[in-house]
Amino acid sequence: MIETKTLSLSEIEDISFRALTAVGTCESNARPLAVATAATEADGVASHGLAYIPIYCEHVTCGKVDGQATPVVSTPRPGVVTVDAATGFAHAAIDAGFDALIPMAKSQGIAALAIHNSYNCGVLGYHTHRLAKAGLLGLGFTNAPASIAPSGGATPVVGTNPFSIAAPGADGPAVLIDQSASTIAKSEVMKHAREGKPIPVGWALDADGNPTTDPNVGLKGSMAPSGGYKGVGVALLTEIMAAAMTGATLGIDASPFSGTAGGPPKTGQFFMAIDPGATSAGAFAQRMEALVGAVKAQDGAHLPGDGRGAARKRAAAEGVAVNVATLEKIEAIIG
């Protein structure tokens, strides 16, 4: 039985911020990550929430992330924003990029943001959600260290490589799609390994490409692609968008997002923001209402993002139950 303690979202943000600054992260880098951590816990994605704070802190200490980095923003072409994350946290780089991307997309109808020399951006849908809240259709891609083998192979060449689409609605995203190219996010396998729990068949493969229920064996092998070869295709698409299109490091050359070996991973993120009013002749809201309505009309049917939205409302009112062992690790860092 895992012991938990209920914290408010502001308490989650505060303890995250204090841990990050305790290891030398500047406030301008710590705050966006702390805010995102609280939002991630609110959405019920615990594997990417407070559980990652000790890892982030370890990576600042060992140099995989520069906690004092200053993102460098450029606009090389009309409609294009680029950010050199300077081996710092992705969240601060994305914040800096969005400050230019959002008004650019609203002015021109469409704009792109390419980020390189970056790091794990956490839950990708957290970022596209922000674009949808601004009234824009948001698309996002982020690559990761290689953990998925190609079809017919057993050696990883691409990461779990999530993509996300957030479509704006009347009060936030009408639809939020956020999924990795693997059957399950690698962080979930890591979480099971930390807790000594077996994983379901179909989550990961051993070094020979065979299914395994041992998370540690899976972490040494490869993640199972979602939908077989189709999942590999999604991972390759994301690799092209988040690494090749941004000039970031390919997953085959990136250091792990866990452990202290290898230096900064220097991965990338790519976002597109589109003003629906520029492309839909005023029909976007009506079309989305009809599409969402067709799903909601079916008993038991739900849309991607519905679960997170419901969890977010509960968390705002009731707080979030968090793992006490994780809290103790974070409190030890704060001292």
Residues with catalytic roles: 47-48, 188
User: What are the helix (H) ranges across the chain?
Assistant: 9-22, 27-42, 53-62, 90-108, 124-133, 186-195, 215-220, 229-239, 284-296, 306-318, 324-334
Cα separation, 91 vs 35, in Å, equals 10
Residue 173 near residue 166, CB atoms below 8 Å: yes
Cα separation, 27 vs 103, in Å, equals 25
Query: With the CA atoms of 148, 238, 250 and 62 taken in that order, what torsion angle do they form, in degrees rounded to the nearest 10?
Result: -80
Token digits of residue 271: 């976002």
What type of residue is 3? E
| Angle (nearest 5°) at CA 34 between 245 and 66 | 55
Exposed / middle / buried, residue 294 (Cβ in 10 Å: 0-12, 13-18, 19+): exposed
